[in-house]
Structure 1
Amino acid sequence: MNKTILIVDDDPIVRMIIQKMIHNMDSSVNCHQCDNGEVALSVLETLRETIDDIVVLLDINMPVLNGWGFLDNLKKINLNSFTKFQLYIVTSSTDESDMLKAQSYPVIKKFYHKPLSKQDIGVILNSDEIT
């Protein structure tokens, strides 16, 4: 099964580094770089018919539509239309309220702090648990 990963972050350097790390570990992964939650929702809409596993790496603090807004709008998308869907928060936020708020969204598989390590990417790429 192929993986498609949406890297949702307003920092182009962070997106590029994460994509390079992913491709160094598995060059078959299809990556989409999204600079805010609104773009990511549009990309998800285009992927509705895919049989790929979908993984979203979501930053919280972004312009236009932040991570929380993305999560709230995600409820409008039928996630059951995806074979497998996983979402991870990847943020520089150290605010405890963000970690607590993340726990209120059952779709979030794990909360990571930036920067992602090679080990973090490995865990994400090799995760077989369906959300």
Structure 2
Amino acid sequence: MVNTDLWQKVILIDDDSLLNLIHRKFLEIVGYHGTILEFHNGFQALEFIYREIETAPTIGKVIYLIILDLEMPTLNVWGFLERFQKLDPKVKGMFKIIVSSSSLNPEDINRALAYESVGEYISKPLTIEAFRRIIGDGIGVVGEK
């Protein structure tokens, strides 16, 4: 069963436009009806987050899901996560991040999962089944891995 109320917005951050399109279609297929936003680099996404938190109605409630590509030419995952970590804890608590990558390097996986806001590390390509689970389960609350 897809819990369409859990995530108000899904944010796709990947420099691959085709992959963003595929992920958008997968979200639609699994029954997600919320807002889907796409950014092609971490800077664009952070600018959105900074603007969004100024007007967010429910600080502290997890309402944003970020699917973040590991490798991007402009502000990769590590740069994004370091900047994200500097946000107020109540603001960070509004977001759950999933890192996606074709890398199966244990160092990348462990490093990503060391960030409190990262709930999961998923290997690309993401599948419809992965989206069904992510959207349906919500991958828990911040801090739950």
- TM > 0.5: yes
Is the 8 Å Cα contact of residues 32 and 135 (structure 2) preserved in structure 1?
A: no
Distance change in 2, residues 1:119/1:5 (3 Å) = same
The reply on whether 1:59 has 2:64 as its aligned counterpart is: no
The letter for the 2-side match of 1:34 is F
Spell out, residue by residue over 1:49-79, the C-alpha distance to the aligned partner (whole angstroms, 9 max, x if none): 1548100001111011001110000022225
* Alpha-carbon shift at residue 103 of structure 1 (Å): 2.8
1:4 and 2:4 are equivalent in the alignment? no
- Paired residues in the alignment total 131
- Alpha-carbon deviations, 1:66-121, whole Å to 9, x = none? 01110000022225137742110111112222112123212110110011111110
Q: Secondary structure at the match of 1:126?
A: helix
Q: Does 1:18 align with 2:23?
A: yes
SS state at 1:26 partner: coil
Q: Aligned partners of 2:13 and 2:104: how far apart in 1? A: 18
Give 1:118's aligned residue: 128
Query: What TM-score, normalized to structure 2?
Result: 0.81
**8 A Cα contact 1:37 1:66, kept in partner:** yes
Partner of 1:130 in structure 2?
A: 141
Of stretches 118-127 and 72-81 in structure 1, the one that deviates more from structure 2 is 72-81
Aligned alpha-carbon RMSD (Å): 1.9
Q: State the structure with bigger RCO (CA 8 A, min sep 6), 1 or 2.
A: 2
CA distance in 2, matches of 1:3, 1:14: 21
In the alignment, structure 1 segments of 5+ residues that lack a partner are none
Paired position in structure 1 for 2:118: 108
Percent of residue pairs bearing the same amino acid type: 23
Q: Normalising by the residue count of structure 1, what TM-score does the alignment of the two structures yield?
A: 0.89
